[in-house]
Amino acid sequence: MSSYVLILDDDADVATAAQLLLRRRYTQVATLCDPAGVPALLARGVPDVVLLDLNFTPGRINGAEGLALLDLLRSQVRPPAVIAMTAYADVPLAVEALKRGAGDFITKPWDNTRLIAAVDQALARRDAVRGGAVGAPELMGESRAMRELKALIASVAPTEANVMVLGENGVGKELVARAIHAASRRAVGTLLAVDMGALPESTFESELFGHRKGSFTDAKADRAGRFQAARGGSLFLDEIGNMPLAAQAKLLTALERREVTPIGADKPEAVDVRIISATNLDEARLFDPSVFRADLLFRLNTIVLRVPPLRERREDVPLLLRHYLTLYQQQYDRPARNISAAAMDMLVRHDWPGNVRALRHACERAVILGQHGEYSMADFGLAAAVPVSASAAEPVVVATAATAGGDMTLDAIERTAIAATLAQFNGNISHAAKTLGISRAALYRKLGKHGI
């Protein structure tokens, strides 16, 4: 799928600078300087990510205009991910934006690497954010496995225990984190998600713990870290298994002492956050000391929730298909169609190596490309890529038109390579990206492009 980024800033120079930086990486990058044009723009199509300035009228610094726009964006049927953009002095305002639904904030003038990482993370998380209709996305499924998971969430959420969520890519780990936060005593506070695998080790402390003005070359003002921004709420540490060991030691210290010391500060600051972490690493690897510190693991995994892959709850597939087909039929103004009996049978038996994320992409493709009275298997783009109930003891063979001497376009070959690599690593995005020689964010975009 394409990536559509909108920059909403009253300063045309600022908006243009961000556009020039981002348009080299994303399909469509638009700018808008007048907030009055937002409703008309949304009528033409909702962006995937919005970079939102919080003050538009000269002289106004209370952020009321930006927060009103944030409410409008969050009210869309499929709301975009919102990244608040503020001046250094506006960090408290950015925290208020986080409480009202923004997923991240960037201070101006921004660091280019930080801005790109924030947009990459927003795009990677949009699957979870867009999992439902208006309001918070929900965990869908009535299988025994999902009923048990929901019961565990209901038991764990009201406590203050740290929770570790385990599961393959695309199963909905962030949805689990959001469900825990929504049912907790901290629900009125912020749930702030951080992709730990995307944080450069060189900026790890600054991003999580903050810094003081002058503490290093680019520290032009005080900045709050993610621990401070999430104070009173929950901090979701995604891809925790991808952290370097040195960074793990720093995180452990913060959790043990329940305080952080911003870079350049003379004394630590107490923090009040609940930690929810997630990883797609195999559980056995978490106990490998060369991969993950045992003392940090025991701090994080007070409660462990395991999200089942879609192949282990096939009875939920028809429900998920109906939900996403209806969602995209409404979004693209396409007629409602049933799924043919043959296609439904094959879709239920499909192993879905990308889990719910892959199913959602397949539904979007079917709605866009389907031409007949009923959806057929070909509409979902899965006939070419297939692991259908392969034995765990047998290697997964990806048979495609390209490998069979049919479609030899570059797109077909790329899709084949990605599907085969994901199958090789059981859907592990980090390992697949490393093998393919691309970044995780780039792989996420290619998964969307090819509907995998």
**Tokens 């195999």 belong to residue:** 282
Residues of the chain with pLDDT under 70: 1-2, 59, 77, 88-91, 124-138, 383-409, 426, 441, 448, 451
The CATH superfamily of 144-192+230-308 is: P-loop containing nucleotide triphosphate hydrolases (3.40.50.300)
pLDDT single digits (tens) 14-48: 899 899 889 888 888 999 999 889 988 888 888 99
Residue 312 is predicted with a pLDDT of: 95
Q: Does domain 311-450 have CATH number 1.10.8.60?
A: yes
Are 35 and 8 in contact by the 8 Å Cβ rule? The answer is yes
Nearest alpha-carbon partner for 443 in 190, 140, 124, 41 = 124
Who contacts 449 (Cβ-Cβ below 8 Å, separation ≥6)? 1, 2
In the chain, what are the domain boundaries?
4-111, 144-192+230-308, 311-450
How many alpha carbons lie under 13 Å from residue 57 in its C-beta half-sphere?
6
What SS3 state is found at 292?
A: coil
Question: Residue 88's pLDDT is what?
Answer: 59
- pLDDT value at position 122? 79
DSSP letter, residue 211: B
Instruction: State the CATH class of domain 4-111.
Output: alpha beta
195's CB contacts (< 8 A; 6+ apart) are: 121, 124, 125, 238, 239
Indicate the SS3 state at residue 105.
strand
pLDDT at 284: 87
Name the 3-class secondary structure at 313: coil
> What pLDDT shows up at residue 269?
92
- pLDDT for 143: 93
The answer to whether 34 touches 28, Cβ cutoff 8 Å, is no
**pTM of the predicted model as reported, rounded to 2 decimal places:** 0.63
- Rounded Cα distance between 26 and 2, Å, is 8
